[in-house]
């Protein structure tokens, strides 16, 4: 008897999670298309949920779109964590995460378009990419692997290069994403203070398979 209310709550929680997930997914699709001037009715129609359900989860469209960007950043962060698992050297960690980002672009076009449309705002968002990159760069500076004056400067430099890489790959679907990503990563390592010969060696090392989201 005592488990019935708990089971009912569990079903309700799952239903709420599905509704919220559908709204976020619909918002991400609109963001990827560069379209945010849609109505809440259009969003709930795209999500296939009732209009009133929207306000059970979000107060405004802006709040929903912000959540869609942050969910995308979190997913990207999870993929990065899986890609660098087992590495200790900050230069290798940073290079691998950057090289994998370029390779995943073709496999995650919607997420990439969301980040491109969000632009430089992702470089100051405390979800997903920024906190991980900041930690890697700070550790690299502390260990003498990077010669940048501070991690904040380094993360903005690296973030700008990442956005440029994404924009380049997006604008030219026929480009060799692996070769371009490795070249950008190599030049970025050099700008961070890694010797050219070592940067080339690091960025030419084998990569694991593209990780999957849980």
CATH of the domain at 16: 1.10.10.60
Residue-wise pLDDT tens digits, 152-163: 999 999 999 999
pLDDT score at 39: 94
Sorting pLDDT into bands at 50, 70 and 90, what band is 214? Answer: very low
Interacting residues of 70 by C-beta distance below 8 A, sequence separation 6+: 125, 127, 128
40, 61 Cβ separation under 8 angstroms: yes
The predicted model gives 176-205 an average pLDDT of 96
Number of domains in the chain: 2
CATH of the domain at 174: 1.10.357.10
pLDDT score at 129: 86
Q: Average per-residue pLDDT in the chain?
A: 90
The predicted model gives 17-39 an average pLDDT of 92
User: Considering 41, 58, 75, which residue would you say is the last residue of a domain?
Assistant: 58
pLDDT score at 8: 60
What are the Cα distances from residue 42, in Å, to 48, 54, 55, 62, 114?
10, 11, 14, 14, 19
The predicted model gives 184-198 an average pLDDT of 97
pLDDT score at 7: 64
Is the same domain home to 137 and 196?
yes
Domain residues for the domain of 28 are 3-58
Is the same domain home to 83 and 183?
yes
pLDDT score at 49: 93
Sorting pLDDT into bands at 50, 70 and 90, what band is 3? Answer: low
| CA neighbor of 42 nearest in space, from 59, 54, 32 | 54
pLDDT score at 4: 61
Is the same domain home to 53 and 135?
no
pLDDT score at 118: 87
What region does 30 belong to: left with phi over 0, alpha with psi -120 to 50, or beta?
alpha
The predicted model gives 198-204 an average pLDDT of 97
The predicted model gives 164-174 an average pLDDT of 91
Is a pLDDT exceeding 50 seen at residue 81? yes
Q: pTM of the prediction?
A: 0.82
pLDDT over 70 percentage in the chain:
93
């Amino acid at each position: 008897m005592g488990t019935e209310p708990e089971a009912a709550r569990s079903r309700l929680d799952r239903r709420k999670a599905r509704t919220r997930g559908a709204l976020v997914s619909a918002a991400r699709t609109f963001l990827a298309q560069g379209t945010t001037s849609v109505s809440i009715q259009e969003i709930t129609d795209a999500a296939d949920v009732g209009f009133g359900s929207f306000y059970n989860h979000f107060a405004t469209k802006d709040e929903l779109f912000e959540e869609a960007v942050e969910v995308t950043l979190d997913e990207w962060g999870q993929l990065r964590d899986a890609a660098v698992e087992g590495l200790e050297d900050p230069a290798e960690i940073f290079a691998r995460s950057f090289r994998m980002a370029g390779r995943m672009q073709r496999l995650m076009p919607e997420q990439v378009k969301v980040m491109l449309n969000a632009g430089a705002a992702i470089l100051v968002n405390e979800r997903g990419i920024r906190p991980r990159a900041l930690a890697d760069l700070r550790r690299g500076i502390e260990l003498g692997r990077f010669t940048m004056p501070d991690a904040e400067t380094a993360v903005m430099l690296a973030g700008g290069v990442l956005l440029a890489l994404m924009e380049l790959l997006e604008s030219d679907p026929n480009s060799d994403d692996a070769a371009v990503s490795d070249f950008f990563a190599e030049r970025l390592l050099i700008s961070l203070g890694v010797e050219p010969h070592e940067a080339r060696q690091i960025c030419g090392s084998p990569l694991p398979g593209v990780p999957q989201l849980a």
